Amino acid sequence: MNNNQKVVLVTGSSSGMGRATVLYLAKQGYFVYAGSRTPEKLFDMRSENIYPLKLDITDPQSVENAVPKIKRIDILINNAGYGLVSTVEEVTEKEMFAQFNVNVFGVMRMCKAVIPKMRKQKSGVIINISSFLGKIGLPLLTFYNASKYAVEGITDSLRYELKDFNIRVHSIMPGFFDTNFARDNLVTNRATFSTDSPYAKMVSGLAPVIVAQINNGNSTDEVTKLILDIIENKDSLARQTAGDKAKKFIPMKKELSDEDFERRVRAYYDL
C-alpha cells in the first residue's frame, strides 16, 4: 500500500458480492482489507492491493481487535449479511437474534468502530449493502425484511449525524443477484419447511420461486460498478437500486398506495 491509495474495508468478503467487490476495487487501484470470519478463504486472492482480515462482525471483541490494526479507512462497505426464511409464528429466539446480530447490529458495530477514524480524517464514505426488501415486505422473509428496513433507517440517521464531518453515508438496494446467496446465505427454519407446518402451502408455492429468482438474478458487476461510482462521486444519491427486481418494485412502491402495491405483489407471486 502506498500513501496515495484510498483504503477500503469490506465485510463479508469470502464469497458472493463481497468477494466480487474486493477484487473489483483492488483492480481499480484501491487497497482493500477483505474482512471475513474465515480469512483462510481469502488467501487465494491476497495481493499487493488485498489484505485478508479476520473479522467477525457479530463479535465485539473481534471488531475491536481488527479495526485498530488499520491506520486509515477511507471507505467502509457493510456487505456481510444473510437471509432467514421463517414465519413469525415458527421462528426461534436464537434465529431472530442471529438475523439482527449480523444484518443490523453488525452494521452498527462496524460504523461505531470506523467513524472515529473517519471523523479525525474529516472524510469518509460508508456504503451499506441493503436490499430492495428493505422497502418491500414478503412473507417468509419477515426477519430479513425487518433487518434491511433497519439498515435503511441507520443510513438515513447517519447521514445527518456525520454530514458535518464530511462523511458520506449511502445504501445500495440490490434485487436478486446470482451470488450463490440462495445456497450459502439463506437459513431456513425447520418447522416452517416441515410438511406439518400450517404454512406448508405458501412455502411450497413461494420458496422455489424466490430461490429460482435469486439463482437467475443479475450479475454482481452492476453492484460493484455502482459501489465505485458512489465512492468517486461526492454527489451520489443517498440510496440507489441495482438489479431488475429492485428497479421494478421500488418505483412501483412509491407510485401506488400501500393497498394497491400489496395487490400487485400478491398477483405477481400468486399469494
Active site residue 144: yes
Q: Domain spans of the chain?
A: 7-268
Q: At what angle do helices 142-162 and 93-100 cross, to 10 degrees?
A: 30
Q: Which of 205, 192, 186 is nearest to 89 (CA)?
A: 192
Separation in Å, CA 244 to CA 94, 131, 156, 160, 238: 33, 12, 24, 30, 20
> pTM value?
0.94
Of 125-134, 197-206, 246-255, the range with the lowest mean pLDDT is 246-255
Question: Which residue out of 6, 13, 14, 199 is catalytically annotated?
Answer: 14
At 185 the pLDDT is 67
For residue 172, pLDDT over 80 is answered with yes
At 182 the pLDDT is 45
At 214 the pLDDT is 77
For residue 63, pLDDT over 70 is answered with yes
At 127 the pLDDT is 98
For residue 5, pLDDT over 60 is answered with yes
Computed over every residue of the chain, the mean pLDDT equals: 92
CA–CA gap between residue 19 and residue 41 (Å, rounded): 10
Question: Which residue out of 13, 36, 86, 130 is catalytically annotated?
Answer: 130
Q: Average pLDDT, stretch 127-143? A: 95
pLDDT tens figures, 8-43:
999 999 888 899 999 999 999 999 999 999 888 888
CATH superfamily of 7-268: NAD(P)-binding Rossmann-like Domain (3.40.50.720)
Question: Which residue out of 24, 144, 149, 199 is catalytically annotated?
Answer: 144
More confident residue, 165 or 1: 165
Active site residue 130: yes
Q: Average pLDDT, stretch 49-55? A: 95
Active site residue 219: no
At 176 the pLDDT is 77
pLDDT tens figures, 217-252:
667 888 999 999 999 999 999 999 988 888 888 999
At 179 the pLDDT is 56
Q: Average pLDDT, stretch 141-145? A: 95
**With b meaning 16 or more CB within 10 Å and e meaning fewer, what string describes 163-172?**
eeeebbbbbb
Question: Which residue out of 148, 171, 199, 245 is catalytically annotated?
Answer: 148
At 130 the pLDDT is 95
Q: Which of 120, 83, 58, 44 is nearest to 213 (CA)?
A: 83
At 45 the pLDDT is 86
Pairing mode of beta strands 167-174, 83-85: unpaired
Q: What pLDDT band is residue 73 in, cutting at 50, 70 and 90? A: very high
Of 40-54, 65-79, 80-94, 192-206, the range with the lowest mean pLDDT is 40-54
Active site residue 236: no
